[in-house]
Structure 1
Amino acid sequence: MDFSPQQAILTLGDAFYDPVAPADFPQTILRFRNDRAAATVGLEGLSDEQWIAHFGRFQPFEGSLPRPLALRYHGHQFRVYNPDIGDGRGFLFAQMTGEDGRLMDFGTKGSGQTPWSRFGDGRLTLKGGVREILATEMLQALGVNTSKTFSLIETGEALHRGDEPSPTRSAVMVRLSHSHVRIGTFQRLAYLKDTESMQALVDYVLRNLYTVDPGENPALTLLQNFIPRCAELAASYMIAGFVHGVLNTDNINLTGESFDYGPWRFTPEWEPGFTAAYFDQQGLYAFGRQPEAIFWNVMQLAGTLRLLSDEAPLIAALDTFPDAYEAALTAAMMRRLGIAATPLANPAALILAIDSTLRETRLPIDRFFFDSFGGRAPDGAAFDEIRALIADFVPVRTRDHPYWSDAGPCSMHIEEVEAIWSAIDERDDWGPLHAKVAAIRRMGTALA
């Protein structure tokens, strides 16, 4: 497809963003270009020099945004409201039409200071960029609706951070997603009691991100469309064994896409209390609490929409979340197991059996799904109940791909993340990263 530039965000007006200038980096060394994602927006043909010009020096795309825009928003951070945030080390760089005909965004991380940087330097560590590549590639392979890490360019600055050895290397990253509008974007307008801007934002989201008619009650239409997307997000995290770590309202995208990865982890075992962030001492965003956390965030969006709608229909919409989550959890489980239900099947009982058995046996999550794909179950008496229940399902995917002949599953745990980074940090060896991306994509092909 050909690149199709857009600038839909400009229709909202300058109350939603601040034009900014990108940082002028000492170096621009291309470390990762996602040609698979580039093909979905018509940019796979860029030379490395053109790539660096756009994604390291932020030369605008003709017909898209003439200047980068730092977006304004508020947010609950660990459920404490903060009106002093916004794009502090990133900006919206460009918009375009994707292969699905929907609006797409290029957003940055580490591209320099903005009016919302507060005391930050507006930069990204190279390690942070490498971690984001690994997170997004793994999640995409496991069927999670995620932003795509589009580009990573090393920028030649020495950064000082309190949570890793410093000075450390710097980078600028570009992500591709369907939007960078967040729950926090709505919270800011509710905080300001800006009804006119809220109406404009609701219309923007419905027409550009959902491509649906706003109807008689646009705020309700938005919430009704948003809830199943968030239910699917929560369910997909659980079945992937993924812990985002920072599920604040400014990190929940209105498209339901997972994005903005900081202290993420994949939990090795089915441990509900497993946390990703060392600073999440109360376990607010622990593995098993993520559906609750995401629903709490959805409720905050509903609260902002009272500016435009009566409360009763919004509450009725919120009441649909539990059923939407259960349906999404079942679909995600069936997808990862490669099976479908028959009239005799009991998906709810199978999910409960898997939950209790994985807690008791502490079998690694990835090992269980690897061994069980295609309607099987691991050997041993501990898995008798799962084996009996899964017999009532029908396999819809085979184990013909060579991946299923491997000795074990492709996983992404913290020890391997650190080893991949160490190879880069100590020897400037990017081989392990590129090999891991290839292995993850191979797994994704087998699962698909």
Structure 2
Amino acid sequence: MASPSQPLGTIADFIADAVEAADFPRNILRFRNDRAAASVDLGGLTDAAWTDHFGQFAPLPGNLPQPLALRYHGHQFRVYNPDIGDGRGFTFAQVRDDTGRLLDLGTKGSGTTPYSRFGDGRLTLKGGVREVLATEMLEALGVNTSKSFSLIETGEQLHRGDEPSPTRSAVLVRLSHGHIRIGSFQRLGALGLTGEMDRLVRYVLDNLYGETPGDEPATQLFAHVVDRTARLAASYMAAGFVHGVLNSDNINITAESFDYGPWRFTPFWDERFTAAYFDQQGLYAFGRQAQAIHWDVVQLAIALAKLVPVEALAPILDTFPELYERALVGAILKRLGVEPSGDETDLATMQAIERGLAAQNVEIDQFFFDWAGGRRRGASPADPLYAQDFPDLEAMLARYRPARTTDHPYWADAAPCSMHIAEVEAIWAPIAEADDWAPFHAKIAAIHRMGEALA
């Protein structure tokens, strides 16, 4: 059983509200992440105990006595909104993994809270399935992401305007490196709660970054956030991933990606590709994600300026573009599976790959599959395009040492593992039509297999 952990309780007086979980008519276990459960000493739970804790939310022994819905503000598509918070979720427990890192078990679809506004506090089963698929794929591709821990169907009929209704309901539990977000600091800044903001800064440094707060804890934290968010943005690009809703309340203070709604993987390196049908201006398009995350980090600086002079934060903020470029080089070479050379050729290689993919003739997944380890492997449907769109690439990559072998059977497959929207819909269709979960579980197994090959 997980060791007792509840440091969030020490700041609950100003960061959260105690709430009750919904009483669901049914609990049908659809997905349990046994790998993640083992890492936090919960792998031994029976299915009955699992649904008791993660469907009915009986407290874990020695943990938070009651769920906590977090309070925060945030910019949503650049419009400030003070009327938000955990509207259909809460932090249920805090646990430590096998490295001692503090993690939250948080929910999505667990019922109404003081921040539900006009919502029902529920999650559609399709939304839960999509989140599991997103997190599993991103984890395999090396993105720092929350993990879908549990998905339980709850037996209610929900009405939604963007999918056929009524539709099935579910509650998701995610395992995350904290649920404190940029919007948490924005709220404290807007309300003038500087003492509480200082406490939150120190909480994050101590419990989530494992550091003792120094003489200037706000700048200490800000430097971490700038560095990690730059790396997050780069990892999205290397994965070909579009989050879709990069509002400041969706940016975790540890820069762990989380909360997946209208996400998509773009087949091609198309900077204008968007995930959300309502993002009509392309604010969070594939090629604008670094800019969007940078903008959110600016909002954190504005909030932290209540504690330290803005002159102390500005030089740190100015490092974001350089950190992002460096991280993008590293992320591209890592997905390619080669050891960085450590000189200017790394940037030139990344730029050549980006230019070739931007021609939009070769799919992103196909490219990294064909050139795994920096060497061309076997025949590919993209072969006629490589000389055209990637001139001199083979000679350029020949200078690199492989960072991993290509001995895994995955590399002999006819095509790479991908997660484009048509496949997501194809996985959902048999669930909706015949309660057939076989394609879903087969896809999870295929993702794990790819992750083993990429490790």
Please indicate the TM-score interval, normalised by the length of the shorter structure.
Answer: over 0.9
CA distance in 1, matches of 2:136, 2:427: 14
Aligned to 1:355: 354
* Structure 1 position 253, deviation (Å): 0.4
- CA 315–130 in structure 1, closer or farther in 2 if over 3 Å, else same: same
Alignment deviations for residues 422-442 of structure 1 (CA, whole Å, 9 cap, x no partner): 010001000000000000010
* Structure 1 position 384, deviation (Å): 2.6
* Structure 1 position 105, deviation (Å): 0.2
Q: Does residue 75 of structure 2 align to residue 76 of structure 1?
A: yes
* Structure 1 position 392, deviation (Å): 1.6
Aligned to 1:109: 108
Aligned to 1:12: 11
User: Retained in 1: the 8 A contact 2:95–2:103?
Assistant: yes
Q: Which amino acid aligns with 1:90?
A: G
Aligned to 2:424: 417
CA distance in 2, matches of 1:65, 1:342: 48
User: Retained in 2: the 8 A contact 1:345–1:392?
Assistant: no
CA distance in 1, matches of 2:178, 2:265: 25
What residue ranges of structure 2 are gaps of 5+ in the alignment?
377-381
Aligned to 2:436: 429
Aligned to 1:319: 318
CA distance in 2, matches of 1:240, 1:342: 21
Q: Which amino acid aligns with 1:308?
A: L
User: Retained in 2: the 8 A contact 1:178–1:209?
Assistant: yes
Task: Please list, as runs of the form range in 1=range in 2, the aligned pairs for 1:14-93 lying within 5 A after superposition.
Answer: 14-93=13-92
Aligned to 1:445: 452
Alignment deviations for residues 200-230 of structure 1 (CA, whole Å, 9 cap, x no partner): 1000000000011211111000001111110
CA distance in 2, matches of 1:76, 1:343: 38
User: Retained in 1: the 8 A contact 2:88–2:108?
Assistant: yes
Out of 192-201 and 9-18, give the one that drifted further: 9-18
* Structure 1 position 42, deviation (Å): 0.3
CA distance in 1, matches of 2:301, 2:342: 37
Aligned to 1:309: 308
- CA 203–395 in structure 1, closer or farther in 2 if over 3 Å, else same: same
TM-score (norm 2): 0.97
Q: Does residue 387 of structure 2 align to residue 388 of structure 1?
A: no
Alignment deviations for residues 335-390 of structure 1 (CA, whole Å, 9 cap, x no partner): 10110133677011111111111122520100000001111257442223222221
User: Retained in 1: the 8 A contact 2:270–2:360?
Assistant: no
* Structure 1 position 121, deviation (Å): 0.3
Out of 289-298 and 354-363, give the one that drifted further: 354-363
Aligned to 1:233: 232
User: Retained in 2: the 8 A contact 1:345–1:393?
Assistant: no
User: Retained in 2: the 8 A contact 1:129–1:152?
Assistant: yes
Aligned to 2:197: 198
Q: What is the root-mean-square deviation of aligned Cα atoms in Å?
A: 1.1
- 1:6 aligns to what SS in structure 2? coil
Task: Please list, as runs of the form range in 1=range in 2, the aligned pairs for 1:81-230 lying within 5 A after superposition.
Answer: 81-230=80-229
CA distance in 2, matches of 1:58, 1:361: 47
Q: Which amino acid aligns with 2:401?
A: V
CA distance in 2, matches of 1:88, 1:400: 47
CA distance in 1, matches of 2:126, 2:262: 12
User: Retained in 2: the 8 A contact 1:111–1:172?
Assistant: yes
CA distance in 2, matches of 1:189, 1:183: 10
Alignment deviations for residues 314-334 of structure 1 (CA, whole Å, 9 cap, x no partner): 001101111211221111111
CA distance in 1, matches of 2:111, 2:361: 44
Task: Please list, as runs of the form range in 1=range in 2, the aligned pairs for 1:212-291 lying within 5 A after superposition.
Answer: 212-291=211-290
Alignment deviations for residues 75-96 of structure 1 (CA, whole Å, 9 cap, x no partner): 0000000000000000010001
TM-score (norm 1): 0.98
CA distance in 2, matches of 1:243, 1:433: 21
User: Retained in 1: the 8 A contact 2:268–2:360?
Assistant: no
User: Retained in 1: the 8 A contact 2:330–2:340?
Assistant: no
What residue ranges of structure 1 are gaps of 5+ in the alignment?
none
Runs of 4+ in 1 over 3 A off after TM superposition: 342-345, 377-380
Alignment deviations for residues 389-446 of structure 1 (CA, whole Å, 9 cap, x no partner): 2122111211100000000100000001001100100010000000000000100000
- CA 344–189 in structure 1, closer or farther in 2 if over 3 Å, else same: closer
User: Retained in 1: the 8 A contact 2:149–2:173?
Assistant: yes
Count of residues in Structure 1 that have an aligned counterpart in Structure 2? 447
Q: Which amino acid aligns with 1:381?
A: A
CA distance in 1, matches of 2:332, 2:54: 37
Out of 402-411 and 383-392, give the one that drifted further: 383-392
- Paired-residue identity, %: 65
Out of 223-232 and 182-191, give the one that drifted further: 223-232
User: Retained in 2: the 8 A contact 1:270–1:362?
Assistant: no
Out of 375-384 and 15-24, give the one that drifted further: 375-384
* Structure 1 position 99, deviation (Å): 1.6
